[in-house]
Amino acid sequence: MNNRVLIVNDSKFESMILSDILSALGYNVRVTDEYEAVRLVSSFSPDIALVNYVMRDTFGDQLIEKIKLKNQSVKCILTSANQIDRQALKSSRIDAIVKTPIDKNSLERVLYHLSEADAEAAANVEELSKLRASIDRWKTKKSDQPLDEQPATQRQQDAIRFCPFCGHKFEGDTVKAFAFCPHCGGKFNK
Residue 50 half-sphere exposure toward CB, CA atoms < 13 A: 31
Query: What pLDDT, on a 0 to 100 scale, did the predictor assign at position 19?
Result: 94
CATH class of 4-117: alpha beta
pTM of the model: 0.62
Kindly report, residue by residue over 20-61, the tens digit of the pLDDT: 999 999 999 999 999 999 999 999 999 999 999 999 999 999
Band (pLDDT 50/70/90 cuts) for residue 158 is very low
Q: Is the pLDDT of residue 182 over 80?
A: no
Q: What residues does CATH 3.40.50.2300 cover in the chain?
A: 4-117
Average pLDDT over the chain reads 78
Q: Where are the alpha helices (DSSP H) in 71-124?
A: 104-123
Rounded to whole angstroms, how far apart are CA atoms 27 and 20?
A: 10
